[in-house]
Amino acid sequence: MSIGVVTVASDLYAENLPAWAESVRALNTQPDQIVIACQTVPVDLDLDCTIVLIPADEPWDFATWWNRAIAACDTDWVAWCGVDDTYRPHAMDSIERNDADVVGLGFQYDTGQTWIPQADNAAIRAVEGNLIPCGSPFRKSLWQRMPIPQGFGPLADWAFWVGLAFINARFASTGRIDVDYSFAGHINPPIEPTRTQIRDWVQSL
């Protein structure tokens, strides 16, 4: 079993790469592969990593950019963390497990709240809300069947988890805080109309 860690960095967020890289270097369980999709090749990160170069004039698209990064990661499991977020050292410990296909990482927000997911397949299928933190590790074999879908904008990860649920993925949680999440200043998209769009989409699967 192998695990990869990936991230995506537009030039607007490239300044966050050193802190992200530092958190990856500090992981107790070191990844077998690291992939960074970016518009400018980073320097001085002290990481043995695969670079996926995004054209400088290509507009940001969540699903497209993340799918490129994941496609370049040749591991059994893939964990993807936002470039402005950082892992805690234990974040990848015990991720490779036989009872789950997605393992929800717990988040500590810089605004004070915490989120430790407890969702199961049935709850995710109900599409009431996004119940798995973005960036939680998953088996790449499932992504190969169900890549991050297009057309859901910044909530594409929500559609991704729902899509995995509909192909019978098993969900679990680490039960701890694994990521320090940069939330301040982020746009918080409304649930609608995305919830309805996801429900319509899964009916076609």
Reported as a single tens digit per residue, the pLDDT across 134-167 is: 889 999 999 999 999 999 998 999 999 999 999 9
**How far apart are the C-alpha atoms of 91 and 158, rounded to whole Å?**
21
- Mean pLDDT, the chain, integer: 94
Flag the least confident range among 14-18, 41-45, 73-77, 134-138: 41-45
* Residue with the larger pLDDT of the pair 181 and 96: 181
Confidence of residue 185 (pLDDT cuts 50, 70, 90): low
Query: For residue 127, which amino acid is it?
Result: V
Burial of 75 (0-12, 13-18, 19+ CB in 10 A): buried
Mean per-residue pLDDT for 82-92?
96
pLDDT of residue 126: 96
Confidence of residue 198 (pLDDT cuts 50, 70, 90): very high
pLDDT of residue 87: 97
DSSP-derived secondary structure for 8-22: EE-TTTGGGHHHHHH
Domain extent for 122: 3-202
Residue 97 pLDDT > 90: no
Alpha-carbon dihedral sign for residues 123, 124, 125, 130: positive
* Residue with the larger pLDDT of the pair 60 and 76: 76
Task: Residue 129: give its domain's CATH number.
Answer: 3.90.550.10
Look-up of token digits 């893939």: 78
Mean per-residue pLDDT for 7-24?
94
Peptide bond into 137 cis (omega under 30): no
Contacts of 16 (CB under 8 A, 6+ apart): 9, 83, 84, 182
DSSP-derived secondary structure for 34-93: EEEEESS---S-----EEEEPPTTPPP-HHHHHHHHHHT--SSEEEE--TT-EE-TTTTT
The percentage of the chain sitting over the pLDDT mark of 70, rounded to a whole number, equals 99
pLDDT of residue 43: 83
Count of domains forming the chain: 1
Mean per-residue pLDDT for 53-77?
95
